[in-house]
């Protein structure tokens, strides 16, 4: 059912784009109510407007905290037009109907981004705006509510199409957006309090998000997908796409894995990701060598993957990268020559990550009507808790290499085995139901691509070895140091085998499952 709009209430923090709306309301002789800065702006633009305090005959009070919170306003919004009792009560009070509400909220998010003044932040928690929006959205059968200035054009088109009226379909769609906004707004405030009070696991948990892009497709082409930003202080991800096609769900899944691994590198490093697993990773003072070493870890799996670098890509590196088919390259900027070279690759996506930061302390995974939240895995191991359980102890240099291996291991899907030489992976065994199968795959990768590097290599396991078969497989291949959490009832057997083979073994006491 279409309803003619006779009276509109406008209350805006962001007053941009207002003139076109006012011109359309005037065209259809719609009376306007407003207050404060919005009232002044409407008058300044040359349009007639009734001030809310004069309309309600109740002056603003409490420094403007109470102005639209008045029965005449909310009865006008909430009254059912077809309800005889409501009609009688409105007539008795001499209250008019309000048919259109155009509201946006106090800029809470912008305030917390630009100010640390607690009082100022609290005063920018909007009360009257969300209250009017919720009331209007509840009564969408009779009332139109606009909360997004992007919808001004839709409202203008709707009024023109229906000669000053709005359709039920339009009102319902706008109500849906309105409730989404109030939920988003309240969720931001709730999460700000949680962050301020250092509460990671509150009794009620809300997750807010603003859509920033429709993705090319989901995990598979028949699935739709979108990406949202959920951050109190940022409205973008901090990832600047320089060239390339639209990103997919899988692209982002790999990108996030790459970014998390890169965040642990304190020296120039490269990681190559395929299906959310690192196929290769390397840190090296030579940036070119770090890419080459990461790629040589598994050049077959690297095909079609993504490359992440925590440095600026130059001409030499770009030439090497251009020899391989990659979907995405992440870097802290690309120089002009590098961009020329990489731009010749038609479908290659280039992303500048120089402004990206990992800030969230928790990760979320959902299924059906539930979700689980956990702290991010930021630990590698506790140095004082390390146990050097074999007769042969590792050198300080080997311990540094072992730390690198164990760090990469925590990002590989469990069961995970990572074999490294120096500060580069040479074999990765990921996601197998049995640990010995992961050992076999990791060893196979080394023998296939870099067999000479297996000698004196280091193997890291994300969890303990339940049986000695995996340890034997690694030792027979040429591994000279194994770093693992320990904790198996057969630890003594693994230690005995390591001693017999004259290799070192370290127990960290820290498990790194990644499912």
The reply to whether 167 and 274 lie within a common domain is: no
Asked if residue 22 is part of any domain, the answer here is yes
pTM value? 0.86
The reply to whether 192 and 244 lie within a common domain is: no
Asked if residue 130 is part of any domain, the answer here is yes
Question: Residue 145: its pLDDT value, please?
Answer: 96
The reply to whether 314 and 397 lie within a common domain is: no
Inter-residue contact 93 to 75 (CB < 8 Å): yes
Marked catalytic residue, from 15, 275, 316, 332: 275
Marked catalytic residue, from 6, 86, 138, 241: 138
Residue 258 to residue 236: CA distance in whole angstroms: 18
Q: What is the mean pLDDT of each run of 10 residues along the chain (515 residues)?
A: 87 90 92 90 92 84 78 90 89 92 90 89 88 94 94 94 92 95 92 90 89 92 93 86 93 95 96 96 97 97 96 96 96 95 93 91 86 90 95 96 97 96 97 95 97 95 96 97 96 96 97 92
β-pairing verdict for 269-274 and 277-283: antiparallel
Which of 196, 226, 251 delimits the end of a domain? Answer: 196
The reply to whether 186 and 56 lie within a common domain is: yes
Structure tokens at 136: 């209007």
The reply to whether 464 and 406 lie within a common domain is: yes
Asked if residue 367 is part of any domain, the answer here is no
Which of 333, 352, 371 delimits the end of a domain? Answer: 352
Question: Residue 106: its pLDDT value, please?
Answer: 87
The reply to whether 37 and 83 lie within a common domain is: yes
Asked if residue 307 is part of any domain, the answer here is yes
The reply to whether 161 and 243 lie within a common domain is: no
359 is catalytic: no
Question: Residue 180: its pLDDT value, please?
Answer: 93
The reply to whether 59 and 164 lie within a common domain is: yes
Asked if residue 358 is part of any domain, the answer here is no
Asked if residue 428 is part of any domain, the answer here is yes
The reply to whether 49 and 102 lie within a common domain is: yes
Residue 290 to residue 268: CA distance in whole angstroms: 7
Domain containing residue 329:
239-352
Question: Residue 371: its pLDDT value, please?
Answer: 86
The reply to whether 106 and 16 lie within a common domain is: yes
Distances (CA, A) of 170 to 41, 162, 392, 425, 482: 27, 11, 75, 57, 64
Asked if residue 298 is part of any domain, the answer here is yes
The reply to whether 170 and 293 lie within a common domain is: no
Asked if residue 201 is part of any domain, the answer here is no
**How far from the centroid of its chain's Cα atoms is residue 208's Cα?**
10
* The residue to which tokens 């990103």 are assigned: 247
Region of residue 244 (left: phi > 0; alpha: psi -120 to 50; beta: else) = left
The tally of domains found in the chain comes to: 3
447 is catalytic: no
CATH number for the domain spanning 414: value is 3.40.140.20
Question: Residue 234: its pLDDT value, please?
Answer: 81
CATH number for the domain spanning 39: value is 3.40.50.1380
The reply to whether 428 and 347 lie within a common domain is: no
């Amino acid at each position: 059912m279409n309803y003619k709009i006779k009276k509109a209430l406008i209350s805006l923090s962001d007053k941009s784009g207002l003139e076109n709306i006012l011109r359309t309301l005037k065209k259809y002789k719609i009376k306007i109510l407003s207050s404060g800065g919005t009232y002044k702006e409407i008058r300044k633009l040359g349009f007639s407007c009734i001030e809310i305090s004069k309309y309600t005959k109740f002056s603003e009070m409490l420094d403007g905290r109470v102005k639209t919170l008045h029965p005449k306003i909310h009865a006008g919004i909430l009254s059912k037009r077809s309800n005889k009792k409501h009609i009688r009560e409105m007539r008795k009070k001499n209250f008019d109907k309000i048919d259109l509400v155009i509201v946006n909220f106090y800029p809470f998010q912008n305030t917390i981004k630009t100010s640390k003044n607690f009082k100022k932040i609290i005063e920018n928690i909007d009360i009257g705006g969300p209250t009017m929006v919720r009331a209007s959205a509840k009564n969408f059968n009779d009332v139109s509510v606009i909360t997004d200035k992007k919808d001004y054009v839709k409202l203008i088109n709707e009024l023109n199409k229906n000669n000053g009226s709005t359709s039920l379909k339009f009102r319902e769609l706008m109500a849906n957006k309105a409730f989404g906004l109030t939920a988003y707004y309240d969720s931001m405030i709730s999460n700000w309090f949680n962050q301020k009070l250092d509460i990671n696991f509150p009794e009620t948990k809300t997750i807010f998000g603003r859509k920033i892009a429709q993705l090319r497709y989901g995990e598979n082409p028949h699935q739709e997908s979108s990406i949202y930003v959920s951050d109190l202080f940022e409205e973008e991800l901090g990832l600047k796409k320089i060239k390339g096609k639209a990103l997919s769900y899988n692209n982002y899944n790999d990108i996030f894995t790459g970014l998390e691994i890169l965040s642990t590198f304190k020296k120039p490093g490269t990681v190559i990701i395929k299906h959310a697993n690192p196929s290769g990773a390397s840190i090296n003072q030579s940036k070119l060598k770090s890419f080459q070493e990461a790629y040589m870890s598994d050049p077959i799996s690297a095909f079609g993957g993504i490359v992440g670098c925590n440095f600026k890509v130059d001409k030499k590196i770009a030439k090497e990268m251009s020899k391989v088919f990659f979907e995405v390259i992440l870097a802290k900027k690309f120089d002009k020559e590098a961009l020329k070279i990489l731009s010749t690759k038609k479908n290659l996506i280039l992303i500048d990550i120089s402004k990206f930061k990992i800030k969230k302390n928790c990760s979320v995974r959902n299924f059906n009507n539930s979700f689980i939240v956990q702290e991010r895995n930021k630990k590698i191991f506790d140095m004082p808790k390390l146990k050097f359980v074999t007769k042969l102890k590792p050198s300080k240099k080997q311990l540094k290499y072992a730390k690198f291996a164990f760090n990469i291991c925590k990002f590989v899907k469990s069961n995970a085995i990572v074999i490294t030489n120096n500060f580069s992976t040479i074999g990765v065994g990921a996601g197998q139901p049995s640990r010995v199968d992961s050992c076999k795959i990791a060893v196979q990768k080394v023998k296939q691509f870099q067999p000479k590097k297996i000698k004196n290599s280091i193997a890291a396991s994300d969890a303990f070895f339940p049986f000695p078969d995996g340890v034997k497989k690694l030792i027979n291949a040429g591994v000279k140091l194994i770093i693992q959490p320990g904790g198996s009832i057969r630890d003594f057997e693994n230690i005995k085998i390591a001693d017999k083979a004259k290799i070192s073994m370290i127990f960290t006491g820290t498990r790194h499952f990644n499912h």
